[in-house]
Copies of this chain bind each other. A is one copy, B any other.
Amino acid sequence: MNEVSAQQIAHLISGRIVGDPNVKVSGPSKIDDSQEGTISFLANPKYESYIYDCLADIVLVSESFEPKKELNCTLIHVPNVYESLAVLMDTFGAKSKEDHFIASQACIHDTVQIGDNVHIEAFVNINRGSSVGADTRIYSNVSIGANVKIGSNTIIYPGVRIYDNCEIGNDVILHANVVIGADGFGFSRAEDGSYKKINHLGNVIIKDKVEIGANTTVDRGSIGSTVIGEGVKLDNLIQVAHNVEIGKNTVIAAQTGIAGSAKLGESNIIGGQVGIAGHKKIGNRIQVQAQTGIIGDIKDDARLSGSPAIEYANYYKSYAAFKNLPDLLVEIRKMKQKLAKLEDASPNL
C-alpha cells in the first residue's frame, strides 16, 4: 500500500478537509483499534468516544459531525462514510501494475501460450497445451495440468492445482490451495465388495468473475462439465462434486458440500456447513441457514433450515417445541393421570 495525503483522499472522494491537508496515511484502521499512519472512520455515532483518543492521522466523518472535544487528527467530511470507505479500500488495495515477471524457476512447457503482462512466480508448473490470458497473475507453487485454459486478469494464489482440460474464465480469483478438476467420487461395486474406479473424462468450467476460497475443491465431471456460473462466490473448504452446476451470482459460505450432479439456480445464498444431496434440483434466490441438510428438490425463494431441510420459520417453531419437550412430557403425564381419574369416576363408562 502506498502513502496518500489527506488532500489526495479528499479529492478522490469529494470530501471536505478540516485539519492538515498534507498528512499522509498508508491504510485504514478501525476507530476502536486505530493506528498511527492510517485513516480511520466514524460511521456509527455510538463509537464517537473513540475519536477523541484516536491514533489515526485522518478520520472519515459525516457531513454533520461536530467534535465535542479537541481532536488530534485531520477530518474529512463526506456525505456517506461507508461508501467513501469502500472507494478508499479499493485505492489502498490496488496493486501497482509494474511488478510482473515470469520467474526463471517456473517450469512452463514450450507449447504453453502466455498473454501480455502475465505474472508467474517461482515453482509454477504448467503442462503441455495450456494457455494463460493477459494480465493474469499466478503466484508461487501453482500446478496447472495439460490443455488448461485460463482467462485474462485472473489471480491464482499459491498452491492452486488445476487438472488437465479445465477452463478458468476472466477476472477469476482462486485462493491458495484450491483444487480444480480432481476426479469425482464415482465407483462401481464389484461382486467381491471391492470398488472399481469410473474414469472421469469431463472437466470443470469456471465462468468469469468467480471467486473461490482457500482449500475449496471442485471435482471434474465424469462425462461433461462441472460448471461454476458467472459471478459465483465460494468461501473456503467447500466441496463441489462432479457434474454439479451452480448458477450465476450464487454465494456459498465455508465448509458446505454439494454432492454429484446437483443443479443450483441463480442468486442463491447458502450458509456454511450445509449439505446438498446428489442429483437434486435447487431453484433461484433460495436462502439456506448454516448446517442445513437438503435432500430433495427445492423451489425458488425457499428459506430453509434443519436436516432434512424444512422451511426456516417452521424449523424454528419445531425447534422451540423440541427445547420444551421435557416439560411437555411432564404435562402429558399429568393429563394422563387426570384422564384416568375421570375414567374411574365416570358412572357412565
Contacts and interface: CB of A to CB of B under 8 A. Distances in A.
Interface of A: 1, 27-30, 33, 86, 89-90, 92-93, 103, 105, 107, 121-123, 125, 139-143, 157-159, 161, 163, 173, 175-177, 179, 182-183, 185, 187-188, 193-195, 197-201, 209, 211, 213-215, 217, 219, 222-224, 231, 233, 235-237, 239, 241, 248-249, 251, 253-255, 257, 259, 266-267, 272-273, 275, 277, 290-291, 293, 295, 307-308, 310, 314, 317-319, 321-326, 328-329, 331-332, 335-336, 338-339, 341-343, 345-349
Contacts of A182: 157, 175-176, 213-214, 236
Given A179-B214, A290-B277, A86 B237 contact: no
A215 B159 CA distance: 12
A200 B224 CA distance: 36
Contacts of A28: 201, 223
Contacts of A175: 179, 182-183
Contacts of A290: 259, 275, 277, 293, 295
A90 to B, nearest CB: 6
Q: Determine the main DSSP class of A at the interface with B.
A: loop
Contacts of A107: 103, 105, 121-123, 140
Contacts of A342: 339, 342-343, 346, 349
A99 to B, nearest CB: 9
Contact of A257 (B157, B273, B314, B323): B273
A207 to B, nearest CB: 12
B177 A159 contact: yes
Given A107-B122, A141-B141, A321-B325, 9 more contacts: A125-B141, A140-B143, A182-B214, A193-B266, A217-B236, A253-B259, A322-B325, A335-B336, A342-B343
A215 B177 contact: yes
Given A194-B249, A215-B217, A257-B254, A319 B328 contact: no
A29 B139 contact: no
Contacts of A140: 107, 125, 143
Given A249-B193, A254-B241, A325-B318, A236 B219 contact: yes
Nearest to A183: B175
Contacts of A121: 107, 125
21 contacts: A30-B223, A86-B188, A107-B140, A125-B140, A125-B158, A143-B158, A159-B179, A176-B179, A185-B253, A214-B217, A217-B237, A219-B236, A239-B254, A254-B259, A290-B293, A318-B323, A318-B324, A318-B326, A322-B325, A339-B339, A342-B349
B259 A257 contact: no
Contacts of A267: 193
Contacts of A215: 177, 179, 215, 217, 237
A40 B80 CA distance: 58
B335 A345 contact: no
